[in-house]
Amino acid sequence: LLSGRETLGSSNMEKDVSLKFHQQVFLISENLVTEDVAALKFLCTDLLHLSKLEGVKSAADIFKLLMAQEYLNAEDTFLLAELLYRIKCYSLLEKLGYTKEKVQECLHEKGRVSPYRQMLYELSENITNEMLKEIIFLLQNCLPKRWINLSALDLLILLEKQGLLTKDNVQILEDVFTNVSPYLLQTIKCYKKAKVLCCNIYSSPDVWTAAKLLKELGGLPSFWPTKMHKRRCVLLSCEHEGTAVDGFFCFNPRLNTGYFSALKPFFFSFLQTMTSYKMNGPHRGFCLIINNVNFSSCQRKGSCKDAEQLERVFTWLGLDVRTYTDLTSGDIRSLMQTWQHVQDHKDRNCFICCILSHGESGAIYGIDEKRVPIRALTSHFTAKHCPQLAAKPKLFFIQACQGNNVQRPVCVDTDGQTPALSSMQESVSLFESIPEEADFLLGMATVDGYVSFRHILEGTWYIQALCSKLQLLVPRGEDILSILTQVNEDVARRVSSSGTKKQMPQPAYTLRRKLIFPIPMAPPPS
């Protein structure tokens, strides 16, 4: 009888676990939109039969197929967590008891999405509409005539169906991206090099060839010790002790069985680095600083302190900084148009523009006190208008009020115009100021409708916090969004000398990858 009760209790517990699991899966599926479902279908292509995937209408359909194939169950939900991580639905991970960091830790051991599939998905995420039109035009002889409106994922699947694209043959992509986007071509080349490296090491103990290939990749596996990473060595060879191969020290894998198990995390960690923007080119990019100080009705005292600090910090980060002082609204528009057409962008990794001025909702002012919509500035650098910067991060940092509160305590000024100078404009959403296309970041000193504060001697709260956190956190390898979160915290802690004024910065972005500045060799400027 006791045994029967135990069996009954165990059965009820299993039912509860199963019910909870199905509820979790249902809630997750309800929060995924059409684009997410398309991405999930693509990422599961190597796991599920294509004929079954073609009938999928919702995320729930995909999850049922994965459960039927025993890829997903109440005891093991990691595949679902991995898929959510890959499509950047990080907020849904908590429904499975995961965090973004926990998934990252487990990927090298439990990850099921192949490096090949990851590489294709990363490409699709960075193919703009203009690029897609060019690709379809170049491949028109390979595509059925009925396929007119293709998404990037549809195109890749079609090429796979026709046998033109496989994990061992990505030549068609290389040919296309040589013409369409040399920047994205590097993603394909990195995939090929990493694949060759792993194959060579598994098939032959020729560590010297492996070392050379590793050097070509331009980096070391992230799982190796930091101390060794900084010394630019892998491990010391017992067979050729102290002998360097093109700047790398290696060891004989025959002497260490752990080496082979280390290859898998290397390959996955390497593919994860492809989710970061390329920032290791010989030229980092241009940084424009527009510093408007002398208005007809006032002077923005302390702004030159900001401009000087920005110039020091971004020069330290490897950018070619150009500073412009006291520009009218017309000058600002002309300057943006000029930089839109600079051909040297194609050899750079990114573009940054810092504007220090007065402002109002959705706009900044020239020294002639005429407004320039922020959207009018950022739109010059979309892929359509500035193809040299396509798929590259464009960062705009705006130090200007977004409202008209003019109360000024001693030594603290605001970056807003007086009511007499301000036109009565309707509030503009921050997200209306950035283009709909990818790869933009807009860092605003304050939320819409409010003033931002500037000390007449020490500079603005926002720019000084930004420069301080960049110097502190870039050497730690933090990405730009993590840094801006710290900037928010710093500024939010500050208070005006009267004890009554506070400020809250606000970033908005359409970045598709992490933006991590390479750690400079020189120490921070201050």
CATH code of 377's domain: 3.40.50.1460
Task: Mark whether 107 and 133 lie in a shared domain.
Answer: no
Residue 27 belongs to domain with CATH number: 1.10.533.10
Task: Mark whether 402 and 369 lie in a shared domain.
Answer: yes
414: phi then psi, degrees, rounded to nearest 5: -115, 155
Query: For the chain, what percentages of helix, strand and coil (3-state, to nearest 5) are there?
Result: 50, 10, 40
How much is the pLDDT for 476?
A: 84
Question: Which structure tokens are listed for 184?
Answer: 């994205």
How much is the pLDDT for 353?
A: 97
Residue 424: half-sphere exposure toward Cβ, Cα within 13 Å: 0
Round to the nearest angstrom and report the end-to-end CA distance of the chain.
76
- Residues with catalytic function: 358, 401
Task: Mark whether 307 and 337 lie in a shared domain.
Answer: yes
Q: Are strands 363-365 and 506-509 parallel, antiparallel or unpaired?
A: unpaired
Task: Mark whether 65 and 204 lie in a shared domain.
Answer: no
CB burial readout 393-430, b (16+ within 10 A) else e = bbbbbbbbbbbbeeebeeebbbbbbeeebbeeeeebeb
Q: What is the pLDDT along the chain (526 residues), one digit of tens a residue?
A: 445 544 445 555 566 678 888 899 999 999 999 999 999 999 999 999 888 898 899 999 999 999 999 899 998 999 999 999 999 898 899 999 999 888 988 887 788 998 899 899 989 988 888 889 899 989 988 887 766 678 899 999 999 999 999 998 999 999 999 988 887 888 888 888 777 665 554 444 444 454 554 544 444 333 333 333 333 333 323 333 333 333 333 333 333 334 444 444 445 445 445 568 888 877 899 999 999 999 988 888 888 999 999 999 999 999 999 999 999 999 999 999 999 999 999 889 999 999 999 888 888 999 999 999 999 999 999 988 999 999 899 999 998 876 665 334 334 455 555 434 333 344 444 445 555 578 999 998 876 655 556 667 778 889 999 999 999 999 888 899 999 999 988 888 776 666 556 677 778 888 888 899 998 888 899 7
Task: Mark whether 262 and 304 lie in a shared domain.
Answer: no
Residue 127 belongs to domain with CATH number: 1.10.533
Write down the H helix ranges in 253-353.
Answer: 258-273, 303-316, 329-340
Q: Are strands 371-373 and 394-399 parallel, antiparallel or unpaired?
A: unpaired
Residues linked to residue 398 through DSSP beta bridges, in sequence order: 355, 444
- State whether residue 58 is helix, strand or coil: coil
Question: Which structure tokens are listed for 51?
Answer: 């004929």
Task: Mark whether 487 and 373 lie in a shared domain.
Answer: yes
- State whether residue 501 is helix, strand or coil: coil
How much is the pLDDT for 149?
A: 74
- pTM, entire model: 0.51
Task: Mark whether 351 and 443 lie in a shared domain.
Answer: yes
How much is the pLDDT for 198?
A: 58
Residues linked to residue 359 through DSSP beta bridges, in sequence order: 364, 416
Number of domains in the chain: 3
Task: Mark whether 46 and 101 lie in a shared domain.
Answer: yes
The answer to the question of residue 253 being in a domain is no
The answer to the question of residue 202 being in a domain is yes
Task: Mark whether 289 and 270 lie in a shared domain.
Answer: no
How much is the pLDDT for 258?
A: 41
- State whether residue 259 is helix, strand or coil: helix
The answer to the question of residue 526 being in a domain is no
Full domain range(s) for residue 378: 283-407+436-510
The answer to the question of residue 171 being in a domain is yes
Task: Mark whether 198 and 319 lie in a shared domain.
Answer: no
Distance of CA 422 to the CA centre of its chain: 36
